[in-house]
Structure 1
Amino acid sequence: MAPIKQKRVKEQVNEFIFANELLVIMPDGSRQGPISKTEALRLAEEKGLDLLVINPNQKPPVAKILDYGKFKYESKKKTKDLKKKQHIILNKEMRLRTGIGDHDMETKAKKVREFLEDGNKVKISLNFRGREAAKPEFGVQTLNRFFAKIQDIAVIEKPPKQNGRFLDMYIVPKKK
C-alpha cells in the first residue's frame, strides 16, 4: 500500500496549535489574558466551538474562539465575491508591416477595435525587415495611419518606440 499523504495545515486550529500560551478572544469579543493552550481549548470545548490562531506572530499568539466551519465557509464566499467583481485586463498584440495594404489595415483595425471594446490594452508592433529598419519614419507614418482608424475609441498610452527590429506603440480604450 502507498503511504498516506498528510495535508499541510495552513491554519492552527484546536490540537494543531503550536504555542503553549495564548491570548484568547472570546465569541462576545472580550479578551482572556495570556492563558495556557489546554485552558483555552477547554474554554472552546465548553462553548462547543473551535480555537483558531488568528495572529501567530504576536507574543503571545492571539487565538479566537469561533465556529471554524462557518469561518471557512464565509472566507471562501468572500474570495469568490472578490474574484467575481474584479476585471482582468489582458494585453493583446497586433503586428503590422511598413508596406501593409489599406484593406489589410482595415481588417486589423477592426480586430483591434474589438479588443479595445472588451477593455483590453493593445500593443501594436510594426516589424521591420532588412533595410526597412534604416528608415523608421516610414514605420511611424504607418502606425499613425493605423491609429487614425481607431482614434475615436482609443488613446495612446505609450507613443511609438524602437525596440530592436520592432516599433512598438501601446493603446488603451478611452474612458467613458
Structure 2
Amino acid sequence: MFGSAAGLVGAGITIRSTSVKARTPKLVIIEESSIPESRQFCEALMEGDHHAEIVRIDRSLNGLLDQLSDSSACFVGLTSDPAAMIASQLLLERGGQPHLEGKHHYTQGRWMHQTNGTSSLLERASNGWPTALAYHIRDLMDGSINDHTAECRSGACNLAASSPGALVSWAIQVEDHLS
C-alpha cells in the first residue's frame, strides 16, 4: 500500500490509511474482470484487508446474483452498467443503505468523474484514478472524511481497449435486520 500511496501523494492526492473492517461485518468487492479499471480498484481496496471477499464477474454477470443474496455485507464495486444498475437495484430492494455512487466517463482522452469527495481527488491521478478512488471509498466507509458531490477530470490517460468508457463506483451496506 505504501508504494501506491506514495505515488498518489506525489501526484497531489492526499490518502489516509483506514480500515473498512471496523464498521462492516463483511466486505464484498465486485470486480468486473474484463475491465482494467475495475481490477485496479479491486486490488487497491483489498490491500490491508485480508478478510474481504472478491467476486469476479464477467460481462454475462455470472456470479453476481448469487453473491448479492448474502445476508449481511458491504458490497462495493467499480463496474459498468448493467452490473452496477442491477446490483444497486437488488441491494436497495433488500433494504441496503447506499454509501456512495460515482459516475466515471471517458471523453477526449480523459476520464471525467462525478464522485463524492474533493474536487482534486481524481484530477491528477490519470491512469491511477481507480486506486485513488479505492482509498477514498475506504475513508468514506470508515467515516474519517465527509463526503460531498464533486466533479473533476483526470489527467490525460490512455484507455485500454477492454474499457467500456463509462463506469460506476458504488458501495451499499446491507444488514441482517434489513433483509
After TM superposition, the score normalised by the length of structure 1 is: 0.22
Which has the higher Rg, Structure 1 or Structure 2?
A: 1
Q: Which has the higher helix share?
A: 1
The structure whose RCO (Cα within 8 Å, separation 6+) is larger is 2
